[in-house]
Amino acid sequence: MTFSSLAFLFIFFPLTFILYALTKSIKVRNIILAAASIIFYAFGEPSAVVLLLLSVACNYILGILVTKGNAKSKKMYVVTAAVINIGMLFGFKYLGFFGSVLGGMTGTELNVPYLRLPIGISFFTFQGLSYVIDVYRNKKLLQRNPFYVLLYISFFPQLIAGPIVRYEDISYQLRHREFNSDRVSRGILRFIFGLGKKVLVANQMGLVADKVFSCNTDSLGTAPAWIGALCYTLQIFFDFSGYSDMAIGLGCIFGFDFKENFNYPFVSSSIQEFWRRWHISLSTWFKEYVYIPLGGNRKGKLRTDLNKLFVFFLTGLWHGANFTFIVWGLIHGVCQFLENHDIIPVKKKWFKPFSHIYVLLVTVTAFVVFRADSMSHAAGVLTDMFNIKAGSAAVNNEVFALITPLFIVSFLFAVLLSAPVFRKIEAKMADSDYSEGCMIAEYACSLLIYVLCILSLSSGSYNPFIYFRF
């Protein structure tokens, strides 16, 4: 079950909302949300519910233990939490991959099984580890009510695909939060906006991107290759940022304030700035729990560079067990290294007119590697992009047939929504004499977006979430 499924929109969410609204006790509300979260997860991954509950139980117990004993024993419990959470993630996500790599290096055949990847494991293991580390750093954050820890780790709005919520940021809200009409209306508007980004924009981009990346690269022309690369870049942005908007909106409805996960990354003038705007919760997690503990920028330039490259290696690996993800992460890490040493002169005035082109070129190229099935596939698509050729007429026609008027409209909206155009208009209107009319227009647009989304979903059209596989 996904946020953009009819079952969620018309059955699961309304029932959860009604039960939540009918009770006043924060403890009962937390139990309702925790139970709803387990049911939500069971719809998508019934066989992994026990794994999720075991993860919660282990982190809950370790959270208590880490507040007791001497400094040495406390560190041991933190290490234990890291071993359990990272070990769980490694076993399900990376064991088969590293087994095949090791087998290839040694020339032996290792029969390492590829386990079915539980949905959301990359997210709930990180949140579980965040809980133990945050309690270790500040024992006042310790939560003795197991249902509260269960809710933090498994809360359905961000369980499957984030944003990754640090326990320190949400511990107070688990015990004290508001539920009122203003929050509900703001949350619904944010949810609908995210739903529109996903259904009306990302899905349209995905149809073209999937077609291009399924083509034989020997038959693919330069124009279709670039179209596919641009479409996938827009697809993954609107797919994931749309999901984040829906998660933030749902959290707002139930009284939680999640931090923003995207902030117009494609207006960045450097790759370093891009990562301050893209998947903010993930980059923040790695900064707080990996980069800073490794020494951050306090150990000299060489150590700082190595720390950053290692973090980007992990960032790529976090996305999937494939060399394509690792290379994608390292592309961003190397570009930051080159920027920091002025080899790519992003700080120079003369470079400013080219900075946005540079960022777009790097991110689009890197996302080709990210999307490809293998490094050879990525090399083939990139060769098609940068080596001008006509390609097969039959393949080109298949791609161009998908460039419909609906696609063109979606593409234009995607370009506009990638920059803070509408945000600036909204801010100016809010401070003018037309603020009330602007609010009415906002509700009317939201209703129109919702209706269009329901019509699209009812037709059974293309509707996957990219980040569900991470």
User: Residue 139 has what DSSP assignment?
Assistant: G
Tell me, yes or no, whether 259 and 360 share the same domain.
Answer: yes
In the chain, the amino acid numbered 417 is: L
Sorted by sequence, the CB contacts under 8 Å of residue 429 that are 6+ apart come out as 435, 438
Among 177, 211, 244, which residue terminates a domain? 177
Q: What is the dihedral of CA 424, 272, 353, 197, to 10 degrees?
A: -40
Question: Is residue 283 in some structural domain?
Answer: no
* 81 and 167 both lie in a single domain: yes
Report yes or no on 341 lying in a domain.
no
Supply the angle between the helices 203-214 and 405-417 in degrees, to the nearest 10. 110
Residues 32 and 114 in one domain: yes
Residue 209 contacts residue 403 (beta carbons within 8 Å): no
Whole-number pLDDT of residue 464: 65
Position 441 in a domain: yes
144 plus 54 within the same structural domain: yes
- What distance in Å separates the CA atoms of residue 37 and residue 429, rounded to the nearest whole number? 38
**Structure confidence at residue 200 (pLDDT):** 94
Closest CA to 263 of 251, 276, 252: 276
- In this structure, the answer to whether residues 141 and 193 fall within a common structural domain is no
pLDDT tens by residue, 148-207: 999 999 999 999 888 999 998 999 999 999 999 999 999 999 999 999 999 999 999 999
In angstroms, the CA 301 to CA 299 distance is 7
Going by C-alpha positions, the residue among 137, 121, 131 that lies closest to residue 86 is 121
pLDDT digits 0-9 by tens, 209-248: 999 999 998 899 999 999 999 999 999 999 999 999 999 9
Residues 196 and 211 both lie in one domain: yes
Does residue 382 belong to any structural domain of this protein? yes
In single-letter form, the type of residue at position 216 comes to N
Which position has the token pair 């900064």?
287
Instruction: Name residues whose C-beta falls within 8 Å of residue 435's C-beta, 6 or more positions apart in sequence.
Output: 429
Give yes or no for a contact between 286 and 317, defined as CB atoms under 8 angstroms apart: no
Question: Is the residue at 59 inside a domain?
Answer: yes
- Shared-domain flag, residues 163 and 189: no
Output the pLDDT for position 1: 74
Tell which residue, 333, 318, 320, 324, has the closest CA to residue 380.
324
Domain end, chosen from 177, 201, 217, is at 177
Do 58 and 193 have their domain in common?
no
**45: closest CA among 161, 146, 145?**
161
Per the CB < 8 A criterion, the answer to whether 362 and 331 are in contact is yes
**pLDDT computed for residue 428 by the predictor:** 73
Residue 369 within any structural domain of the chain: yes
Report the pLDDT value the prediction gives residue 469, as an integer from 0 to 100. Answer: 65
Q: Which of 132, 150, 177 is the last residue of a domain?
A: 177
Q: Based on the domain organization, do 81 and 107 belong to the same domain?
A: yes
Same domain, 158 and 214: no
Are 253 and 187 in contact by the 8 Å Cβ rule? The answer is: yes
In the set 176, 319, 341, 377, the catalytic residue is 319
Q: How many domains does the chain have?
A: 2
Instruction: Report how far Cα 36 is from the mean position of its chain's Cα atoms.
Output: 22
279 is catalytic: no
| Rounded Cα distance, 295 and 304, in Å | 8
The two three-digit tokens of residue 41, written as one number? 């997860």
Full domain range(s) for residue 354: 183-269+346-469
| Angle (deg, nearest 10), helices 222-253 and 203-214 | 140
In a domain, 63, yes or no: yes
Do 233 and 370 lie in one domain? The reply is yes
Same domain? For 218 and 87 the reply is: no
Q: Radius of gyration of the chain from Cα atoms?
A: 23
Please check whether residue 318 lies inside any domain of the structure. Answer: no
User: Which residues make Cβ contacts (< 8 Å) with residue 273, sequence separation at least 6?
Assistant: 359
Q: List, for the chain, all residue ranges whose pLDDT scores fall below the cut of 70.
A: 430-435, 461-465, 467-470
